[in-house]
Amino acid sequence: MKKQILVSGGAGYIGSHVTVELINAGYDVIVADNMSNCDMTCYEGVKKITGKQDIPFVEMDFCDYGAVEKLFTDYKIDAVIHFAAFKAVGESVVKPIMYYKNNLLSFLNLLEAIQKYGACNVLFSSSATVYGETKDLPVTESTQRLPSTSPYGNTKQICEDILRDTVYAHPDIKGIALRYFNPIGAHPSALIGELPRGVPNNLVPYITQTAIGKRKCLNIFGNDYPTPDGTCLRDYIDVVDLAKAHVAAVTRMIEGRMKEDYEIFNVGTGCPISVLELVTTFEKVNNLSLNYQCVERRPGDVMAIWADTTLANQELGWKAERTIEETLKSAWQWEQYISQKENK
Ligand code: UDP
């Protein structure tokens, strides 16, 4: 019998790409989502890409414990990948209670149900934000986490700790936290991708929306940093590569190949790219010219962060494969697809 993976937040940007790769790898997937930050576009896209029409979809909120329990009584779940969380850094500063309540309660409910219904593997979607403004570059998994600069970042740190403590207290539960760097791009089919609501906060959706004419001008936040071209450095990880890291991590858990009951992996490329480089590469590969200007630094931005990916490469047997050119092409194709759909 195929192993069944519950993907919380599975109708969203990363969740939908992970669902595709899990199905490609031979897993059965149950998608659960409260649709608070997405519509059915990506879920429908996943069905088209995989050719699988019967992927169970449960509309539910992980803050509702009864609904979470029902998942475990309705399905035999071998592993859970937990994405369901709010993720806008700026919004979290303005609405901390909403962020703490949603991100912590949903995860606690999930773990409580897992503890009640028996052995399970938990993969938590964490973030490089847990490293804060570190000087220790590139960051390894043992680089010290620094106090978070936002409630959002704090929820990632707290959830990592909750998972670690839960795993140590319950030997039948295993946990992995994947710390994502900057996920970008879309599936090569252009049928799934990132669908930001309102004005995008992240760089690549802002770039693609400027290129298509939804935004007038891209603001580059700060060109006076002590970096080679003055703009910030980040580690942009292709979303399909990122999704494959989840498959590798879940398989490691399910096959009992973990070295510790709780493990952490950085998921990035290991290559820093500046904001300006990203913009000019986007222009070049898509043969267009982008309207942009350099403005003040954005408060809270770290100057530079990128991953040491040795551990994920060695232990997960995973490596980022798509080039930045391919990734930026896919982001543009997705934007064009979405705009066409919207204009119909
Ligand atoms: N950035 C920018 N203009 C934008 C959005 C982002 O110059 O409209 C920069 C931001 O200052 C940072 C990088 O792009 O240096 C990545 O930002 P993003 O919000 O995508 O991810 P973060 O690394 O902040 O989580």
pLDDT tens figures, 294-340: 999 998 899 999 999 999 999 999 999 999 999 999 999 999 999 99
Are 74 and 80 a contacting pair, CB within 8 Å? no
Using alpha carbons, list the distances in angstroms from residue 248 to 132, 174, 319. Answer: 26, 15, 10
Q: Ligand 1 mean position to 182 CA, how many Å?
A: 9
What b/e sequence results for 55-83 when a residue is b if at least 16 CB atoms lie within 10 Å of its CB, and e otherwise?
bebbebbbbebebbeebbeebebbbbbbb
Are 265 and 316 a contacting pair, CB within 8 Å? yes
Are 137 and 304 a contacting pair, CB within 8 Å? yes
Are 110 and 35 a contacting pair, CB within 8 Å? no
pLDDT at 149 over 80: yes
pLDDT at 81 over 90: yes
Residue that is written with structure tokens 């979607």 in the block: 125
Q: Is 152 in the active site?
A: yes
Q: Which of 227, 301, 305, 327 to mutate to test the pocket of ligand 1 (most atoms within 8 A of CB)?
A: 301
The number of CA neighbours under 13 Å toward the Cβ of 341 is: 14
Rounded to a whole number of angstroms, the CA Rg of the chain reads 19
Q: Which band of pLDDT confidence, cut at 50, 70 and 90, is reported for residue 292?
A: very high
Q: For the chain, how many helices (H) and strands (E)?
A: 11, 13
Tens of pLDDT, residues 5-51:
999 999 999 999 999 999 999 999 999 999 998 899 999 999 999 99
Is residue 334 within a helix (H) or strand (E), and if so which, with residue range?
helix 324-343
pLDDT of residue 208: 98
Do β-strands 236-238 and 120-127 pair in parallel, antiparallel, or remain unpaired?
A: unpaired
Are 220 and 295 a contacting pair, CB within 8 Å? yes
Q: Which band of pLDDT confidence, cut at 50, 70 and 90, is reported for residue 67?
A: very high
First to last CA, the chain: 42
Residues with CB under 6 A from ligand 1: 182, 201-203, 206, 218-221, 232, 234, 275, 298, 301
pLDDT of residue 140: 98
Q: Which of 202, 227, 233, 324 to mutate to test the pocket of ligand 1 (most atoms within 8 A of CB)?
A: 202
Is residue 179 within a helix (H) or strand (E), and if so which, with residue range?
strand 173-180
pLDDT at 119 over 80: no
pLDDT at 187 over 90: yes
pLDDT of residue 166: 98
Q: Which of 27, 43, 131, 152 is catalytic?
A: 152
Using alpha carbons, list the distances in angstroms from residue 231 to 134, 159, 190, 243, 344. Answer: 17, 31, 29, 28, 38
Q: Which atom of ligand 1 is nearest to the CA of 275?
A: 14
| This model's pTM is above 0.85 | yes
